[in-house]
Structure 1
Amino acid sequence: MYTFKLVIQTIYGTLAIWQALIQGKPKAYNVLTKETDAFIETIISDWNTPGGVAVAVVKKNSQGIWDIETRGYGRANLGGAKVTENTRFAIGSNSKLFTTLAVGLLIHNETLSPRLSWESTVASVIPSWELMDPVATKQTTILDIMSHRTGLPRHDFSPKASDDVLDVIKKLKFHKPSAKFREVWQYNNNMYTVLSHLPPLLLKSRISFAQYVKENILDPLGMNSTTYSFDVSNATGQLAEGMIRQGVDTSKNPFGDGIIRSVPFTWLDAGGEDGDYSGNGGVISTVKDMATWLQTLLLGGTKPGTNVSVIPVEAVEKVSTGFTVKTGQAPFPERSPSVYGGGQARGTYRGHEIIEHGGSVLGQKFICFTQSRKFIPVKGFNTQITCLPSDNLGIAVLSNDHTYGSSIMEIIKYRLLDESLGLTGIDWNSRYKAMIAPPQDLVKKPVDPSPPFVDFTILAGTYNNPGYGKVELCLVSNNTSLSKSCQTLISKSSRILPGGVESGVPTFLGEFNALGMTYIRISHYDGNTFNITGLNSFATGDPAKPYWVFSYPSPSDGNIFAEFAVDGNEIGFGLTGIWGAGKDILGPKGNTMRERAEAWFTKL
């Protein structure tokens, strides 16, 4: 009898185990139904995207089991490979959350002496820390850095490909602030580079930042497809390519075909595993791993399927708490104003609390509305990671559409939110299409522009700004008195920068090697004022047309100027329209160009 009872108990125990396993198995169809699949495919078609998207939806059901769905749509690369749940995308500024949580781990490290806290001043931790504002230098805390309230605008073009993290930190004291300390939210990638310096600085092992995140976050969570290494991702054969449509006349058709190009990972030299880009945007991942990440965040740092705490819940809560007002006005009636913590923004959507962040490779993804509520898309691999803590719901959308990926992923995100929450759907596709900003009316050049205060040949030469570095301006039309380096650049410019110089316009070219631009073009506008354009030269693989050029900013992105002037006994030029200040913040004021410049370059 005892043996029979033991057998019965064993059978029931085995059945119970199998039942639990079956219940815990991710459902194949929940939110990502055939109708949702068709909707996403329609969006890809409507926006004529050359790329694709990958999505993840996680939600804890009424039995306490996670429903997990991951799927890919569209093209991963020029070769036509399909996007899958294992396709790897650069997630851009969604990397910032890994950085702040890594800092949270350091704060909870009891072996550190002295201990670190969110209120620790940066000056007390990093010896080389200094800002132009002495008050900010002394009082800036880790919390100030992560919540973007130091007073500094973006200054994204300051870091060079050759810079390391310490180089970036040392340049900060030369960056003009655009607001008072703790006055307003202003996004700043460089501050997250500062945070990435903390693990190798504070730990006796001098472990690198990327390795610290890998050993303490990624590996414990089993996020084996997530890395800071391009080489590791590329070796899998599953790395997506950023896709762009070149040569589209957006004034006639913003969704024109153009020439489909693949945008290389231009930030690699500045990122790698531990370059200056790692802390603010260096992560490469998949939606399969993002599903794990979403669950971890919703579980307060606990590894899904276990009771093992990988990240202290206090750290998860801290970085998702709002400390700075990000947007004081709601972008849509269904949204609220939002506040910013550390790599996380918090607000509501249709009455549901929402914590999220966006990211892209060639510039932080953000929703930019003009006064007429037009949407200006930004560039790069676009990603959106969204959590609804009260609803136990998480959504990730990754796109490799360089031009409209930011719009596409928002449309898909909102559709998935409405489906998951059981809300009546909103036509987000029509909304975002209506908000596409037409090319801005640039200030037209005078028919007969006046010359600058000195001859163009005198303006040629090497200039320096200690925060942005040196640049040698080579006058394209001058065939005499060129330096050897200028002779080399001008001689190859027609081949490597096709269409990069407008005929008949006095133009300077220079190697710049900043994030997002390899070359800088300064073309005469009128008097002492010149237009500024950043240029990237990419190989095509076609011997007949070996290179194509990506311009930043594009003609539709606005007016960026350089104005030459004499300051004392020195010739220099000041840049305006380039520092990336916060909303409604005006440029510097002053009586001289040097005072009015966002960055001033002095001729050497």
Structure 2
Amino acid sequence: MKVLGAVAAILTSTSATLQGVAEPQAVPKPIYNDVTSPAWRFTSPNFPRDERDTTSGLVSNETANHIGQLIEEWNSTGIAVAVVQRDETVTDPEHPGWRIEYGSYGFATKNSTASTAVTPDTLFAIASNSKLFLALSVGLIIHNMTLADDFRVQHGVELGWSTRMRDLLGEDWEMWDEDATKGATIAVAPERKISRNLPVQQSHSYVAQHLFEPLNMASTTFSIGDIDAYPPQGSPVGVFAHRMADGHVASNRDLTLGKLGSLKPIVPFFSRPGEERTRAGAGGIISTARDLATWNAMLLSNGRHPYDPNVTVVPRDVLEWVTTGRSILSGVPMSPETSPVLYGAGQLRYSYRGVDVIEHSGDTPGFKGLVSRYPRKGLGVVLLSNDGENGGWVMDAAKWAVVDDLVFGEKEGRVRWSDRFRAVVAAQRLSRQAKVTPRPDDPEPPTRPFSELGKKKFEHPAYGQVVLCRVPLQLLRDPYADHPLEFSTDDNYNNPHTNCTELLSSPSVRHVLSATPHPLPSTSLPLQAPNGAAPPETFVASFSRSFVSHLRLVHFTGDIFNVSAVWANDDVRQDLGIDPGHSVDTRVRAEGRPTTVQDPGAVLINLNETFTLEWVSSSERGHEGDEEGLAIRDGFWGMEGPDAREPRGEGKQGAEVWFRAVSDGPGSV
């Protein structure tokens, strides 16, 4: 909501004229490099055909050129576009009653020797666009009369969206919040929890059978193994690996330092085979523009197969339920052309220039996606990008260009969205740097010695156990030093945990430490301070979670640390035998002359997000009985919603996440 609010403030303050806004002053143009993207092109549905099929009339020459210019303006990587519109005059047997057009821009993969172009059949991670598949699969389960009758007999209540999870799971359903334990319904529960307790197959196979297969979405999958080009030894290369795009991220980006990072591909894919269940419903689907064009046309057909109206894929009442707004995502318009935004079940709903819009976006490391439709116009637009940094701005500007042309035409004009988005990006960068609080020149030490923190273990019932490894000064000075780690054995410095030597020697941690500048932006202490002061004490912990590999703690003052939840893939690449010297084109996002350099392929992200950690020790509270632990706050839990409130107070009372201390002796984890 903080980001939404910032975007809304900028967009609503922008001139609402359809001729656009004046070029924002002092807005840096984002630069990757001067590599020329392959020519953009639109093709007919019968891929492959490189020529532009102008018979559909969905994308004008002006719009096609504009989208290509957006790729260049934002120096983006690749984007696939699919536009569908109902037209009863179309008699093509492959898609009767529909005009369809595909656009392909930029590259899907690129290294120092070769590149592959985006096509309508390039696969992208669609991230949170998966949520609608999840919601509709729940609706199909609820709509199954046999299951409903069995459930009524077994539990004595009706099976529906308002069925309480406690009625479905019994005492197994327990949440931190008592009201959620007693009152949470199927409408807000994970689908896999539902399918586990009803006589249906696993959630991903249920979605494939009831949604993918009826629509012949043959290139759509949950399986990472299907797209994996670097499988574990003994496993085959994925059947779709040759068509899978590489997602790109700004590695080592840290806006708190003013560093834009280097745009690099994530190789291998950010998630590994066997991890699908972690995010299957929330964001695990991988698909193509071609498959999603059919999906979007089905949604526009109120759940019927778009090319065979005698086949119902999703009952109309199920589709209506998930598309009805049930909560407020943005209570104020995001721009002069849009209304407040409502949220249903995996669907956003608002109006654009008076036209009803139903859509959802997706954002996952290296990829952006958008599936948007305009029911009263019979129009749908799909956009998929493998630029995890600027791809979202390109997609939104391209989407509105298509809609402005097809719905409003030359008479009503086109909004210059790209200019506005550049102003938003510039404001976000300045805001991030402005929020940095300088570290005191003479910071206070913690209540208890740093050496004691390095001897502790901490745990949380959901996040699991955390072991903090204290980083030796030698690694802060030279993260890539080849000499062995030397741990002091006195009371002032000790790493008692048996895994710390291995952790601090790992390629990923060395990468993390290389991006830990000393002095940090929040301190004026140089590495060799005149008064003999050392750089800020730093700790690293392994923290393997979705989009996170490690926690990095840097001392601020007293019992307060800055903590970052970062993700690096050096260790994964090493385990798979990907040569550390395997170079990729690294495009430096910097102001001035763009550069292209050869760089090892590992990436490091999430340096931008820094949270506050308080080390709460029993002696700090001054009386017996106080619990020791780590209190993390300032956004770690991802608070959303206009009415959401952060916990108040210090220590455990003010923690969003509380890791309690469980031991202070040596031992492996």
What TM bracket, shorter-length normalisation?
0.7 to 0.9
Are residues 1:551 and 2:554 paired?
A: no
SS in 1 for 2:245: coil
Task: Identify the residue that residue 124 of structure 1 maps to in structure 2.
Answer: 167
Query: Structure 1 residue aligned with 2:65, among 27, 38, 46?
Result: 38
Q: Report Cα offsets for 1:304-344 as digits up to 9, x if no partner.
A: 21120011111111100111112111101110002111000
Task: Identify the residue that residue 433 of structure 1 maps to in structure 2.
Answer: 422
Alignment TM-score, normalising by the size of structure 2: 0.72
CA contact (8 A) 1:497 1:548 kept: no
Counterpart code for 2:203: F
Partners of 1:42 and 1:212 lie apart in 2 by 41
Task: Identify the residue that residue 384 of structure 2 maps to in structure 1.
Answer: 398
Task: Identify the residue that residue 370 of structure 2 maps to in structure 1.
Answer: 384
Are residues 1:447 and 2:441 paired?
A: yes
- Residue correspondence of structure 1 range 17-96 to structure 2 within 5 A: 28-49=55-76, 51-61=77-87, 63=89, 65-79=97-111, 80-96=115-131
Structure 1, unaligned runs of 5 or more: 1-20, 146-190, 363-379
Query: Structure 2 residue aligned with 1:243, among 216, 240, 248?
Result: 248
CA contact (8 A) 1:505 1:523 kept: yes
- Residue correspondence of structure 1 range 167-206 to structure 2 within 5 A: 191=189, 194-203=190-199, 206=200
- Residue correspondence of structure 1 range 240-389 to structure 2 within 5 A: 240-246=245-251, 258=262, 260-262=264-266, 264-268=268-272, 271-272=275-276, 275-306=277-308, 307-362=310-365, 380-389=366-375
Q: Report Cα offsets for 1:339-380 as digits up to 9, x if no partner.
A: 111000111111111111111124xxxxxxxxxxxxxxxxx4
Task: Identify the residue that residue 521 of structure 1 maps to in structure 2.
Answer: 552
CA contact (8 A) 1:530 1:561 kept: yes
Task: Identify the residue that residue 186 of structure 1 maps to in structure 2.
Answer: none
Deviation at 1:229, TM superposition (A): 0.8
1:549–1:603: structure 2 CA closer, same or farther, 3 Å change rule? Answer: farther
Query: Structure 2 residue aligned with 1:217, among 205, 211, 221?
Result: 211
Deviation at 1:579, TM superposition (A): 0.9
Are residues 1:462 and 2:453 paired?
A: no
Alignment TM-score, normalising by the size of structure 1: 0.79
Partners of 2:105 and 2:488 lie apart in 1 by 52
Deviation at 1:125, TM superposition (A): 1.2
1:263–1:354: structure 2 CA closer, same or farther, 3 Å change rule? Answer: farther
Deviation at 1:271, TM superposition (A): 3.9
Task: Identify the residue that residue 542 of structure 2 maps to in structure 1.
Answer: 511
SS in 1 for 2:110: coil
- Residue correspondence of structure 1 range 153-168 to structure 2 within 5 A: none
Percent identity between the two aligned chains: 32
Partners of 2:99 and 2:471 lie apart in 1 by 61
Partners of 2:504 and 2:514 lie apart in 1 by 13
CA contact (8 A) 2:224 2:273 kept: no
Partners of 2:645 and 2:500 lie apart in 1 by 32
Deviation at 1:47, TM superposition (A): 0.6
Are residues 1:484 and 2:479 paired?
A: no
Partners of 1:587 and 1:35 lie apart in 2 by 47
CA contact (8 A) 1:322 1:341 kept: yes
SS in 2 for 1:570: coil
SS in 1 for 2:617: strand
Task: Identify the residue that residue 365 of structure 1 maps to in structure 2.
Answer: none
Task: Identify the residue that residue 533 of structure 1 maps to in structure 2.
Answer: 564
Number of paired residues?
Answer: 506
- The more displaced of 387-396 and 479-488 is 479-488
SS in 2 for 1:230: coil
Query: Structure 2 residue aligned with 1:137, among 156, 161, 181?
Result: 181
Deviation at 1:435, TM superposition (A): 0.8
SS in 2 for 1:331: coil
Partners of 2:201 and 2:245 lie apart in 1 by 29
Deviation at 1:67, TM superposition (A): 0.6
Counterpart code for 2:468: L
Deviation at 1:48, TM superposition (A): 1.2
CA RMSD of aligned residues (A): 2.5
Partners of 1:197 and 1:208 lie apart in 2 by 10
SS in 2 for 1:232: coil
Deviation at 1:589, TM superposition (A): 3.7
Partners of 2:513 and 2:611 lie apart in 1 by 21
